[in-house]
Amino acid sequence: MIAQRRTLIALAALAIACGIGALPLILGSDHQTTRGLVAALVLTSAWGFVGTGLYAWYRRPQNRTGPLMTAVGFSWFVFAIASADNAYVFALGSLVSALPFAILIHLLVGFPSGRLQGRAQRFVVISTYLLVTVGQIGWFLFAEPSAEGCDNCPANPIRIGNDAGLGEAINTVQVLVASGLIAGAVAIVFRRWRRSTPDQRRALSPVVFTGSLAFALLFVQLAVNGAQVSERVEQVAFIASIVVFACLPFAFLVGLLRSRIGRDEELRSALSAENEQLNEKLRAKVEELRASRARIVEAGYEERRRVERDLHDGAQQRLMALAMTLRLARGKLDSEPAVSGALLDEAIEELTTATGELRELARGIHPAVLTDRGLAAALGGLAGRSPVPVEVLGTPAERLPAAVESAAYFVVAEALTNVARYAHAEGATVSVARSDGVVEVDVRDDGVGGANPEAGTGLRGLHDRVAALGGELAVSSPAGEGTAVRARIPLAG
């Protein structure tokens, strides 16, 4: 805020200095016929716009109307430059002499938020800027003001052609385009007027009224410049412009301060950008949630299918084989007791395998020790059963919420299964640490790396399991450098 205030004060001081500097240029000009009037126009408009602009800037720092008004104010000083007697300074001033009107149109079209909305507004404003820069240069390269009514004007030092007709033609095109753009700006303003609520009209009315007057005067001036009229009429028109242009900034200021809608609008446009981003994020999140929910449901079915398959291929087959073996043994009990005994041994063998498989299957569905004794015990068991040597570096001493323990356990279990299957590792480490309301699970091995987390359903399932608790899972597996699986699970879901 303080920095902003300093900027505003510096700009005000600069405007005063420019005004004082402009006076001798205008008043001492050889070619300005109405020096006093030009000086009055420049000073009232420039200081009026800068003063009101800075005030508006100060009152509504988020609104761009203030800065735009200030810019219009400063741009008036180009008339002082165009008043210079030095040929080059005069040429420079002439080149930029239409700039104030362009910024004015920008201001008017963007009022009251100061922001351009929609293609039409941008088109009009950008075209106007192009016209007063590129178009102006095009005209000035062929124009010779000293030969076209401005008797005391210095010779144009950057003229490249002698063709007066071409300069005039460009000028005519410029005027036509300018008229079109002004008409466009007026149309935009009136369209806004027509669509606005009574409240908004209260804010727009001073600007629309004074603005229309100013543009009407611009048209008159364009007409006056074209036609030969008496000096008296020219002077009256000029004085009228001074009055209107002096009033214009105050009209903008009053309009801006009246505009509650404008304030809302500037807030809205500042918010809407942020809103848009948030919406975008939200949509992505919802999409991700929908997808992961679908995957979790699918994973549930997949899990059932797996259990069914394991039971069918494993225990069920073995038990059926067992029944057959026992029947065979029963049949040979009397005739071939030795064979019968061997068959019974075989049956016992099959039965032992079947119970072992059932045990592992049940443990895979849910490890009882995890519920009974917590992560440290369950992970110790996992590490002990792993065919690859596993070192458990640390686990939280206290019990964690069941869902978190379960997720952490399955992250480690799946990671260790992958280590055993694919990593060709000499060893692996497991650590689970709690810090700042987050549980960090870290499983890494010294194997071949190169694992693709997108490829396996196992890791995908883990990702969903962790994401369901608001956590995240990261797998890093550069080829030749081992694999690290890391999960961060928040304790308060």
Task: Give the pair of three-digit tokens for residue 310.
Answer: 């394991």
Alpha helices in 312-333 (DSSP H): 317-331
List 445's β-bridge partners, or say none: 428
Q: Which of 21, 36, 180, 356 binds other proteins (CB under 8 A)?
A: 356
Residue 450 CB, shortest distance to other proteins, in Å, is 23
**Please, which residue, 298 or 345, has the CB nearer to other proteins?**
345
- Candidates 22-30, 83-91, 357-365, 416-424: pick the segment binding other proteins (CB under 8 A): 357-365
**Please, which residue, 170 or 379, has the CB nearer to other proteins?**
379
Residue 353 CB, shortest distance to other proteins, in Å, is 10
**Please, which residue, 221 or 353, has the CB nearer to other proteins?**
353
Is residue 345 at the binding interface for other proteins, with CB under 8 A as the rule?
no
The answer to whether residues 430 and 393 touch, using CB atoms and an 8 Å cutoff, is yes
- Candidates 178-186, 331-339, 385-393, 462-470: pick the segment binding other proteins (CB under 8 A): 385-393
The single-letter code of the amino acid at 418 is: N
Residue 300 CB, shortest distance to other proteins, in Å, is 23
Helix axes 2-27, 65-75, angle to 10 degrees: 20
Q: Which of 391, 399, 472, 478 binds other proteins (CB under 8 A)?
A: 391
Question: Scanning the structure block, which residue is given the tokens 């304790």?
Answer: 491
- Candidates 293-301, 347-355, 446-454, 476-484: pick the segment binding other proteins (CB under 8 A): 347-355
Contact string 258-277 vs other proteins (x = CB under 8 A): --------------------
**Please, which residue, 257 or 361, has the CB nearer to other proteins?**
361
Residue 430 CB, shortest distance to other proteins, in Å, is 10
Task: Give the pair of three-digit tokens for residue 492.
Answer: 């308060």
**Please, which residue, 378 or 451, has the CB nearer to other proteins?**
378
The answer to whether residues 250 and 52 touch, using CB atoms and an 8 Å cutoff, is yes
Is residue 314 at the binding interface for other proteins, with CB under 8 A as the rule?
no
**Please, which residue, 16 or 321, has the CB nearer to other proteins?**
321
Residue 310 CB, shortest distance to other proteins, in Å, is 17
Q: Which of 281, 290, 330, 385 binds other proteins (CB under 8 A)?
A: 385
Residue 372 CB, shortest distance to other proteins, in Å, is 5
**Please, which residue, 70 or 386, has the CB nearer to other proteins?**
386
Alpha helices in 424-489 (DSSP H): 457-468
Q: Which of 8, 18, 247, 390 binds other proteins (CB under 8 A)?
A: 390
- Count of residues binding other proteins (CB under 8 A)? 28
**Please, which residue, 298 or 391, has the CB nearer to other proteins?**
391
Residue 390 CB, shortest distance to other proteins, in Å, is 6
Q: Identify residues 193-212 at the interface with other proteins (CB under 8 A).
A: none
Q: Identify residues 398-437 at the interface with other proteins (CB under 8 A).
A: 427
Question: Which residues neighbour 383 within 8 Å (Cβ) at sequence distance 6 or greater?
Answer: 390, 391, 392, 416, 430
* Measured CA distances, 292 to 261, 286, 460, 465, 489 (Å): 43, 10, 10, 9, 16
> Beta 438-445 vs 390-394: how paired, if at all?
unpaired
Cα torsion 205, 210, 216, 220 to 10°: value is 170
Q: Which of 78, 251, 383, 485 binds other proteins (CB under 8 A)?
A: 383
Q: Counting beta carbons within 10 angstroms of the beta carbon of residue 68, is it exposed (0 to 12), middle (13 to 18) or buried (19 or more)?
A: buried
List 435's β-bridge partners, or say none: 438
Is residue 349 at the binding interface for other proteins, with CB under 8 A as the rule?
no
Residues 45, 58: Cα–Cα separation, whole Å: 19
* Measured CA distances, 332 to 87, 323, 335, 344, 348 (Å): 128, 14, 5, 11, 17
Q: Identify residues 358-377 at the interface with other proteins (CB under 8 A).
A: 359, 362-363, 367-369, 371-373, 376-377
∠ Cα 427 431 435 (to 5°):
160
Residue 442, helix vs strand vs coil? strand
Alpha helices in 160-197 (DSSP H): 164-195
- Candidates 35-43, 188-196, 305-313, 354-362: pick the segment binding other proteins (CB under 8 A): 354-362
Is residue 351 at the binding interface for other proteins, with CB under 8 A as the rule?
yes
DSSP state of 62: T
- Candidates 86-94, 253-261, 295-303, 345-353: pick the segment binding other proteins (CB under 8 A): 345-353
Residue 375 CB, shortest distance to other proteins, in Å, is 10
Residue 422 CB, shortest distance to other proteins, in Å, is 19
| Closest-CA residue to 105 (of 191, 218, 240) | 218
| Closest-CA residue to 90 (of 26, 170, 47, 16) | 26
Is residue 433 within a helix (H) or strand (E), and if so which, with residue range? strand 428-435
The answer to whether residues 32 and 26 touch, using CB atoms and an 8 Å cutoff, is yes
Question: Which residues neighbour 404 within 8 Å (Cβ) at sequence distance 6 or greater?
Answer: 439, 469, 489, 491
Q: Which of 152, 162, 179, 355 binds other proteins (CB under 8 A)?
A: 355
Is residue 304 at the binding interface for other proteins, with CB under 8 A as the rule?
no
Positions touching other proteins (CB under 8 A) are 348, 351-352, 355-356, 359, 362-363, 367-369, 371-373, 376-378, 380-381, 383-386, 389-392, 427
